[in-house]
Amino acid sequence: MIHTDSPLAARGSALVGLARGTVHGDAMSRTGVAARLTLLALLCGPTPGFAQAPEQAPDYAAVSRISPTVAAVRRAAPSVLNLHSVKTTYDDEPVFGSRKPRKVNGMGTAIVVDPRGYLLTNHHVVDGVESLRATDESGASYVARTLSVDPQHDLALVKIDADNLPVMPLGTSCDLMRGETVIAIGNAFGYEHTVSKGIISQLFRDVEVTETQSYRNLIQTDASINPGNSGGPLINVRGEVIGINVAIRAGAQRIGFAIPIDDAREVLAELMSVERLENRTHGAQFADRKTPSSKQAVVARVDPRSPAGRGGLNRGDVVERVGRTPVEDAADFERALLGVRPGETVTLTVLRDGNRVPVSLSLPGAGRAVAQVPSQTRQIAARTAAARTVEPPPKKATADDAVQRFEARSGCKIERVVATPGERLAEFGYKGGYRVAEVRSGGPADRALIKAGDILLGLHDFSTLIPADFAYILNLAADDDVKMLRCDILRGSDRLYTFLKLDEE
């Protein structure tokens, strides 16, 4: 309440009187009105004791342009590589009833999962390609090759010859929220390192793309995902990968899908396993345990006769480190063992019943298993002169025994087929090959995802039409010390390829 003897009260009374516009009940003259308006303007001026703040221009230079989106892209982009491929497709010639080959350029994206040049991408990005090239953010270009694939989950492991690559920051998909801001980075339509932003539209989507390809538990997003984004990261505002971009909805706008990163990492553990890539086994199986605040690789099962079992690894152990490599899931465990020399001992840091326990693990060469427990009574395998004797080179394969040797080393039975009119081989322009009759469970062919009924068209870029072809390929691989053979197969109406690592003779 304002007292009547205050300056503000006096001014208020004067303003009321002026506003009424009457003096002793008589109408005002024009001169009186003008005088009173002048007085009103004066009364509305600055009040003594109340300073009027001067108007200040905003300091635009002090406004930061580094938004959360900019910071996230800066963190993740160095771990994104653009993929460019070339493959051969066939156009039907209705006049001559044949198929005309033509070269097609493809594109995709990959993320770095190990500093030694291991990349993760979609299987459909590398499926059937004849050449593959990867470029990083700086423009450096690398020749890339596919190491292992999982067509069912549409993921593939690719390798480039590089060191000290920045690994993609790893997030988790266990706590994603609808409406959460996400960012896609990729080779959209060949425009490298394109960035698009959106939100998570929905979770747990099941999507059927074709009659033979369907996906489960996908992330739906309205961030723009275009051809070429496949295999690239979907990241959060922290710059952590939370999904692998995989598909778009044809005919729809701003509807794209990504594989949750937790699901993708489980597949990656299989793609990077030392058993698949180096034909060595450790004997442990893991169950990844991931929460918004922690990631753990929990041992779910151990074969007591395996290196892990003999080394003292137990069910329920949480592996935190392999040597100097931190372990957050099974994929980290597998990649940490890649490249470890046969017989070399690595120390695992294991969390067991609240205590950290060291476990020594030694992976053998193919077909052998040795492990030691770190203690004063540790046994060391004896070395003898016979053990160091250089073995004579293996006998050269001949046309008479090459197929049998291939069957023994690949773990599959094959039978020769010759293209005849009306058969699918002839329809696709092939003269013949070898049909896979049987696949041994757990063998090299099984690990390469070869199935009974597949038709083997070629190995190591050479056709496999007659037994002499197998002899030439096996001998060439032995002379060049080739460990992995590219395997071209025909499955139904699809021409596929995988990489087959043969057992040692």
Q: What is the pLDDT of residue 47?
A: 53
* 161 contacts 144 by C-beta, under 8 angstroms: no
Q: What is the pLDDT of residue 391?
A: 43
Q: What is the pLDDT of residue 257?
A: 95
- Tell the burial category of 327 from Cβ atoms under 10 Å away from its Cβ (0-12, 13-18, 19+): buried
Task: Kindly tell me if the per-residue pLDDT of 443 is higher than 60.
Answer: yes
Q: Which domains does the chain have, with CATH numbers?
A: 7-40 (no CATH), 67-272 (2.40.10.120), 276-362 (2.30.42.10), 402-500 (2.30.42.10)
Report the pLDDT averaged over residues 371-397.
40
The tally of CA atoms less than 13 A away on the side-chain side of residue 486 is: 16
* 326 contacts 349 by C-beta, under 8 angstroms: no
Report the pLDDT averaged over residues 424-434.
71
The two three-digit tokens of residue 289, written as one number = 């345990």
Cα first-last separation, the chain? 103
CB atoms within 10 A of CB 409: 18
pLDDT bucket at 483, cuts 50 / 70 / 90: low
**Which of 279-293, 365-379, 444-458 has the lowest average pLDDT?**
365-379
pLDDT bucket at 404, cuts 50 / 70 / 90: very high
Q: What is the pLDDT of residue 315?
A: 93
pLDDT bucket at 8, cuts 50 / 70 / 90: very low
Interval 143-152: pLDDT, tens? 999 999 999 9
Average pLDDT value for the chain: 82
Q: How far apart are CA 189 and CA 82, in angstroms?
A: 11
3-state secondary structure of 375: coil
Of 491, 416, 412, 423, which Cα lies nearest the Cα of 454?
Answer: 491
Of 371, 352, 351, which Cα lies nearest the Cα of 363?
Answer: 371
Q: How far apart are CA 199 and CA 220, in angstroms?
A: 9
- Tell the burial category of 18 from Cβ atoms under 10 Å away from its Cβ (0-12, 13-18, 19+): middle
Report the pLDDT averaged over residues 362-374.
49
- Which value, to the nearest 10 degrees, does the dihedral of the CA atoms of residues 172, 174, 175, 176 take? 80
Angle between helices 330-337 and 261-271 (to 10 degrees): 30
- Per the DSSP assignment, residues forming a β-bridge with 159 are 118, 145
Q: How far apart are CA 158 and CA 148, in angstroms?
A: 7
- Pairing type for strands 345-352 and 325-326 reads unpaired
- Per the DSSP assignment, residues forming a β-bridge with 12 are none
- Tell the burial category of 82 from Cβ atoms under 10 Å away from its Cβ (0-12, 13-18, 19+): buried
Q: What is the pLDDT of residue 27?
A: 46
pLDDT bucket at 99, cuts 50 / 70 / 90: low
Residues designated as active site? 124, 154, 230
Of 232, 236, 261, 237, which Cα lies nearest the Cα of 247?
Answer: 232
